[in-house]
Amino acid sequence: MKIFNYFGNYFSNRETFQEIIVIPVFATLLAIFLGLLLLIVSGSSNEIALKALIALFYGSFGSISSISETLTAATPLIFAALGIAVGFKAGLFNIGAEGQIILGGMAAVIIGFSFQLPFFIHLILILLVGALFGALYAFISGWLKATTGAHEVITTIMLNLIAYRLLDFFLRIPSIQKEGRNDPISKSILDTAELPRILYFLDPNLRVHMGFLIAIFAVLIVYWLIFYTTIGYEFRAVGKNLEASRYSGISPSMTIILAMSIAGLLAGLAGASQIAGVLGRATPGFSAGIGFDAIAVALLGRAHPIGVLFAGILFGALIAGGRQMQVSADVSLDLITVIQALIIIFIAAPVLIRKLFPWIFR
């Protein structure tokens, strides 16, 4: 009951509900509608547009394997977007999730193939070290901002570029590079370091893995951290009003460094879970732009942990559904990119949604 009271503080609030659920839902529906309209305008038949729409839903939620694919794609997005949301709460715009994912994933790979450890311990270690390296990498940006005032947008973008090159470099080190290959590809992690597939008992091909459960757990932890701890209180105070937080005795520098590091920690977990749950090895493109998609997810989730969870699943659904769309309706995957972009536009302009659907906000 107590928890419910607390919860009511933040969520039973009508406005928060609109912010986090209603606007994103309508933004998404509108974006899908416009995406299909674009399809028809560009010369596809109505039938194909309908097929694409059905495929989009079928491919994302229509079967156990679609749901599995949706959640698999959602997992790293949720982790990284949670990190970005923590940054948002503290007034930081962390563009560097991509780099942090790379560092976290890279560290996870190295841990994954170089140690012979029992199953559970190895798994814990690979995740912890991945998170640690993500955090360390983000710490650099936080530290630079706190001590020199260097803007985190600039430093994280630069660190992303450095991370790409670091990855190229690491993948060519003989002790990391896969035996017998000249191209940049790492050794594979051992079975003991893999995140088990949680629907293995239904069908071994269902890829959704334990990382998704950990992601949900992370959502709860971050929710608690932001709204029920002094640390989260400090983050939000610094994010909303730097002057007032200084007045209240909070050290903005320490807060910025800590917030950035936690953001990196979560992005690092995204990288580690991707390695341990899906890929099993690192290649130059293993981060696959997840760090950038996660920015969109964090925005769509209005930087609220619960919002991020749903937004992450939605983006995962777009990825899985988009695949089905290309297979069965022969519609290019680029349409998904268009829909994602439209969603972000509508989220960035909530007034537009309020104007278009006045009846839902009455």
- Residues of this chain that interact with other proteins (CB under 8 A) are 2, 6, 9, 13, 51, 54-55, 58-59, 62-65, 69, 72-73, 168, 181-184, 201-202, 204-205, 207, 228-231, 233, 236-237, 240-241, 243-249, 251, 274, 278-279, 283-286, 288-289, 320, 323-324, 326-330, 332-333
Task: Identify which of residues 46 and 241 has a Cβ nearer to other proteins in the complex.
Answer: 241
Q: How far is the CB of 214 from other proteins (least distance, A)?
A: 19
Distance between CA atoms of residues 78 and 101, nearest Å: 12
Query: For residue 192, which amino acid is it?
Result: T
Q: How far is the CB of 251 from other proteins (least distance, A)?
A: 8
Task: Identify which of residues 30 and 275 has a Cβ nearer to other proteins in the complex.
Answer: 275
In the structure encoding, which two tokens stand for residue 238, read together?
């610094």
Q: How far is the CB of 245 from other proteins (least distance, A)?
A: 8
In the structure encoding, which two tokens stand for residue 26, read together?
């309508």
Which distant-in-sequence residues (6+ apart) come within 8 Å of 294 by Cβ?
76, 77, 79, 80, 81, 83, 84, 97, 267, 270
Nearest CA-CA partner of 90 in 213, 300, 264, 216: 264
Task: Identify which of residues 192 and 283 has a Cβ nearer to other proteins in the complex.
Answer: 283
Task: Identify which of residues 57 and 115 has a Cβ nearer to other proteins in the complex.
Answer: 57
Q: How far is the CB of 282 from other proteins (least distance, A)?
A: 10
Which distant-in-sequence residues (6+ apart) come within 8 Å of 300 by Cβ?
24, 27, 28, 307, 311, 314, 315, 343, 344, 347
Contact 275, 281 (CB under 8 A): yes
Task: Identify which of residues 143 and 292 has a Cβ nearer to other proteins in the complex.
Answer: 292
Q: How far is the CB of 162 from other proteins (least distance, A)?
A: 15
Cβ-in-10-Å burial (0-12, 13-18, 19+) of 271 comes to: buried
Nearest CA-CA partner of 80 in 327, 265, 286, 279: 265
Q: How far is the CB of 118 from other proteins (least distance, A)?
A: 25
Q: How far is the CB of 236 from other proteins (least distance, A)?
A: 7
Q: What is the DSSP letter of 209?
A: B
Distance between CA atoms of residues 351 and 40, nearest Å: 27
Task: Identify which of residues 16 and 117 has a Cβ nearer to other proteins in the complex.
Answer: 16
In the structure encoding, which two tokens stand for residue 208, read together?
């959704």
Task: Identify which of residues 30 and 222 has a Cβ nearer to other proteins in the complex.
Answer: 222
